[in-house]
Amino acid sequence: MSTISTKGTLHLNIIWHQHQPLYLDSDKDQLQGPWVRTHGTKDYYDMAAMLKDYPDVHCTFNLTSSLLWQLERYYIDRLKPFVNVRRNRINTDEFLTLWQGKTDPWIDLALKPTNTLDEHDLRFLLYDPWNALHITEVMIGRFPAYMALKEKVKRREHLSEQELREIKFWFFLAYFDPDFLEKKILLEDGITIDLTDLVTKTPDGMYILKKMIAEDDCNRIVAEMYKVMVNIIPIHQKLMQSGQIDITTTPFYHPILPLVYDNDLARVCQPNDSMPNRFQYPQDAHAQVAKAVTYFKDTFGQEPLGMWPSEGSVAHEVVTVFSKNGIQWIATDEKILTRSKPEHLSKCYPYRVGKDNTVAIVFRDTELSDKIAFAYQHFKGEDAAMDFVQSIMRYSSHANEPDRLVTVILDGENAWEWYRYENDGKGFLHALYRKLSRLFQENKLITVTMSEYIHGNKRRGVSPHPISSMREIEWLYPGSWINAKFDMWIGHLEKNQAWNYLLVAREDLESSGLPQPDPHAAVPTVNTRAWYSYQAWEAMYAAEGSDWFWWYGTQHSVPGGTKPFDLAFIRHLKNIYEFAKLAGGHVPNREFIQIVTERPAAQVAEQGVMVQHRRRV
C-alpha cells in the first residue's frame, strides 16, 4: 500500500509597526514634535490604502495608542471645526483664537502671516532641534528648491519673506506621499485631494513648484494635511472589517514592559552591566496593557487580538499580563527564541507560552525584516521584491512537514525615506505585493494575519491552527528585538539615572494618597480633583515610555542632540507632582535636573530626529 506524502503550506505574516512617542508638553497642552503629522501624510494613510489594489495580500498593522491619541486629539478634534474640506481652507482667525499654541507649533507658523513671525517663531522654524528643515537627505534631494533653502539657512544667509514662507510651506508639502503630489486621490471619506496645481514631477524625478507660494497656499496645505489625517483611522477600519488586515496595538505609552514589571529582569540578559535601583511595578505593566486594550476598543469597536510588545520586549514573567487582558498573540525577534527553552526550536512556527496556554508567540525573521528596513534602499524596486520572494520561498515546507509561518516585522514608516531609486519605497512595495499576489494565485504562498492563521479562513484556504495545538515555550528569555537585550534602555549611567528618577516619582505618587485609577474607567470631568489625580497617573505612565530611555547614553548621534527627549522626560516627571498637588495629594517638593550632559549635535546626518529614532531594527 503506497503512502501519499503531503506538503505543508507556506504562510507569510507581515507586520508593519507604526509608532510615535508622546510629544505632548501637558503643561502647555501642545505637541513639541511634528512627526505624527509628517508620517501621517507620508505613511500612515497610504501604507494601508495601497492594499486595496492587492486583495490577495493580507497583513497586520500595529498602531500604538500614543500615536493614535495624538492624531485624534491634536490633528483631528482641534482642527475639524475650522476646516472646510470642499474649499480646502481653514478659518485661521477662529482657529488661532481658540487653539494657538495648543496643537502642533508648525501649524501655527503655517497659518500666521510670514511678515508677523517674531524672533521666537523664526528660531522655532529654522533652528529648533526639530525645525522645518529636518528631512532625510534622500527625501530633500527630490525637492531642489527646498534643499537650496536649507543650504542657505546652514550658511546663515539672509532669508527674504518669500523664502521664509516657502520653508514653512515645504515642511508640509515634502512630507506628503508621492501619490498625493502626482495625481488626484479619492480618500476614504469621499473627499479628494489634488496637489498637482502646486507641484509637478520632472522626468528626472524631481518635484518643482508650479507657482509662487502665497499665504493662502500655506493655509491650504494645512487643510490638505487635515484631510489625510482624518482618513487614517477609517481606511484601517474598512480594511480590518473586510478581513484583509488585522490591527494590533502596543502597551499604551510604549514602555519596555518587562522593565516596568521588574527591571531586575535585565540582569538575566545583561549580567555584567551596572543596574539602577529596583523598579518593580507589575500593576503599572498591567495598566499600560489594559489602557491600550480599552483605547483600541473605543477606537475600532472591538478588542485587539494581538499585541506587539514595545520594541519586541518580552519575558516569561509578563506573559500573564497579556493573557489577563485578552491578548491571544504576541511577537518578538528570533534571537529571543534561540535563548529560550526548549532549545533548537524553529522560527518558522508559532508557539504557545504562559501558564494558561492561551497566548501564542511568533518570532521575527531578522534577516528578511532587516532587508526591507535597510538593504533594499539600495535596490531598484523590482530587484528588491524579487530578492525578497526568492528568500521567502526557501522556507517552503518539504514533504510530510506541517504548515510553516514566517514572520516579518519592521517599522512601516521610516525605511521608505531612505529608498533612493523610487520615492517612498513605492516601487518596491507595489512590486512586492504584485509578486505575493501571484504566489497566492499559484498556491505557493499565503500571506496571513496572525488572527487568520490561528482561527483559519476557509475562503482563502487557511486551515485553523489553534493555540492549544502549538508546541510550548517552557521559558521565554527576557530581552528585546535588539540583540535580545534591554541595553538600549537600561545599564548605562544616564539610563540608570533616569530609572532612579522614575522610581523616586513612582514612590512619591504611591505615597501621595491618590489611588491608582482603574485603567478601564472613563476619564473624570476636567479640572476636578479626580481629573488632576488621573492626570498625575497619566504623567507617570508617560514617563515609563521607552523613548526617553532610548536616547540617554552616548551611543546615539542625532541632529539637534538628544535634549528634546531629555526635556520631555523631565517634563513628565514634573507634571506628576504638579497634578498630584492640584488633586490634593501629599507629595514632596522635588527637583529633577537635566540628565543629558551637553553633547554636540551630529553633523554627519541632516535628517529628522524621529527618522534616526526608528531606524534601529
Integer CA distances (angstroms), 84 to 138, 191, 217, 231, 399, in order: 34, 11, 14, 15, 61
Q: φ, ψ for residue 269 (rounded to 5)?
A: -90, -10
Domain boundary among 459, 486, 513: 486
Name residue, grid cell 511568533: 362
- My answer on whether 509 and 599 are in the same domain is yes
Among 137, 136, 119, CA closest to 128: 119
Q: How far apart are the first and last CA of the chain?
A: 52
243 in any annotated domain: no
**What would the grid cell of residue 102 be?**
495648543
169 in any annotated domain: yes
365 in any annotated domain: yes
201 in any annotated domain: yes
The C-alpha atoms of residue 91 and residue 84 are separated, in whole angstroms, by: 8
- My answer on whether 162 and 260 are in the same domain is no
The C-alpha atoms of residue 548 and residue 542 are separated, in whole angstroms, by: 10
Length of the chain: 617
- My answer on whether 343 and 404 are in the same domain is yes
The C-alpha atoms of residue 497 and residue 573 are separated, in whole angstroms, by: 13
- My answer on whether 47 and 164 are in the same domain is yes
345 in any annotated domain: yes
- My answer on whether 156 and 304 are in the same domain is no
The C-alpha atoms of residue 386 and residue 381 are separated, in whole angstroms, by: 9
**CB neighbours of residue 338 within 10 Å:** 14
- My answer on whether 57 and 70 are in the same domain is yes
Those residues with Cβ within 8 angstroms of residue 371's Cβ, 6 or more apart along the chain or in another chain: 384, 387, 388, 391
Across 284-311, average pLDDT: 98
242 in any annotated domain: no
- My answer on whether 8 and 42 are in the same domain is no
Query: What does 247-307 look like in DSSP terms, one character per residue?
Result: EEB--TT-B-HHHHHHGGGHHHH-TTS---S----HHHHHHHHHHHHHHHHHHHSS--SEE
Query: pLDDT per residue over 228-274, tens digit each?
Result: 999 999 999 999 999 999 999 999 999 999 999 999 999 999 999 99
- My answer on whether 392 and 263 are in the same domain is yes
Domain boundary among 441, 468, 486: 486
**What would the grid cell of residue 546 be?**
521607552
Please, are residues 255 and 490 in contact by the beta-carbon 8 Å criterion? Answer: no
- Does residue 482 surpass a pLDDT of 80? yes
- My answer on whether 511 and 570 are in the same domain is yes
What pLDDT does 25 receive?
A: 85
The C-alpha atoms of residue 411 and residue 425 are separated, in whole angstroms, by: 13
147 in any annotated domain: yes
Task: Give the CA angle between residues 375, 380, 385 to the nearest 5°.
Answer: 70
SS (H, E, C) 375-406: HHHHCCHHHHHHHHHHHHHCCCCCECECCEEE
Query: pLDDT per residue over 564-613, tens digit each?
Result: 889 999 999 999 999 999 999 999 999 999 998 755 544 333 333 333 33
Per DSSP, what are the bridge partners of residue 364? 333, 407
Please, are residues 459 and 83 in contact by the beta-carbon 8 Å criterion? Answer: no
Structural domain range at position 369: 1-19+250-486
Please, are residues 446 and 9 in contact by the beta-carbon 8 Å criterion? Answer: yes
| Category of 222 on φ-ψ map: left (φ > 0), alpha (ψ -120 to 50) or beta | alpha
The C-alpha atoms of residue 435 and residue 417 are separated, in whole angstroms, by: 23
Name residue, grid cell 499585541: 307
Q: What percent of the chain has pLDDT over 90?
A: 89
Query: pLDDT per residue over 314-354, tens digit each?
Result: 999 999 999 999 999 999 999 999 999 999 999 999 999 99
Query: What does 54-66 look like in DSSP terms, one character per residue?
Result: -TT--EEEEE-HH
Query: pLDDT per residue over 489-525, tens digit each?
Result: 999 999 999 999 999 999 999 999 999 999 999 999 9
185 in any annotated domain: yes
Please, are residues 411 and 614 in contact by the beta-carbon 8 Å criterion? Answer: yes
Q: pTM for this structure?
A: 0.95
Query: pLDDT per residue over 102-137, tens digit each?
Result: 999 999 999 999 999 999 999 999 998 889 999 999
The C-alpha atoms of residue 600 and residue 617 are separated, in whole angstroms, by: 25
- My answer on whether 13 and 64 are in the same domain is no
- My answer on whether 33 and 178 are in the same domain is yes
Domain boundary among 450, 467, 486: 486
Q: φ, ψ for residue 45 (rounded to 5)?
A: -80, -55
Supply the CATH number for residue 419's domain: 3.20.110.10
Confidence of residue 616 (pLDDT cuts 50, 70, 90): very low
The C-alpha atoms of residue 592 and residue 505 are separated, in whole angstroms, by: 10
Count how many domains the chain has.
3
Across 157-180, average pLDDT: 98
- My answer on whether 12 and 33 are in the same domain is no
